[in-house]
Amino acid sequence: MRTSLTRGSSRKTGVRSGRCRGRRYRGPIEPPPPLPGDPAPAPGDPAAAVAGVVERFYAAFEARDLDTMSDLWVHADDVACTHPGWATLHGWAAVSASWFAIFEQASPMQVFVTDQRVRVEGDAAWVTLDENLLGAAGDEAGTTVSALKVLRHTGSGWQVVAHHGSVVVGRPD
């Protein structure tokens, strides 16, 4: 089965309170209205389920909620994560340690996701998007990171197996 979901509009993620420092839970964030010509998501639509995992990923990131971030990932040796400016980390132990370090040391950040595109092929899914970060490394103007997430459908639902983020230094004209 092939499914895709594309959003060109900006979307602000919600946040949950968690173990790590962060803002208080503000309640669920309503998804943006469908764009003209977007098909209505069907109940049980895998692309919508994958998009929901990505939204929870950024809510956990903003709230620095290690428990929720952990729940979103497959806990196995074959997961991989490349944070901007970092070498690729392999295995759940290294990936989870990186999230712990980021949540403990980083300043609180807000994330606005734009240009999100979701593709699903069977039990695999990939999502491309731009993370627009406010509060990153003291940069008041904000930073954009292009990100790729790979998810696998497991017995627990859709879970992240890979994340790659690269800082955008400029856009082509």
> Residue 38 to residues 4, 32, 34: CA-CA distances in angstroms?
10, 12, 6
Q: What is the pTM of this model?
A: 0.74
- Judge whether 146 lies within some domain: yes
- Judge whether 172 lies within some domain: no
Q: Looking at the 3D structure of the chain, how many domains does it have?
A: 1
- Judge whether 57 lies within some domain: yes
> pLDDT tens, 4-56?
454 444 444 443 333 433 333 334 434 445 555 555 555 589 999 999 999 99
- Judge whether 173 lies within some domain: no
- Judge whether 36 lies within some domain: yes
Q: Round to whole Å and give the CA distance between 151 and 162.
A: 7
Tell me the CATH number at 151: 3.10.450.50
- Judge whether 161 lies within some domain: yes
CA of residue 57 relative to chain centroid, distance: 4
- Judge whether 9 lies within some domain: yes
Q: Round to whole Å and give the CA distance between 139 and 142.
A: 5
Q: List the domain range (segments joined by +) for residue 121.
A: 2-167
- Taking only Cα atoms into account, the Rg of the chain, rounded to an integer number of angstroms, comes to 16
pLDDT confidence band for 170 (50 / 70 / 90): confident
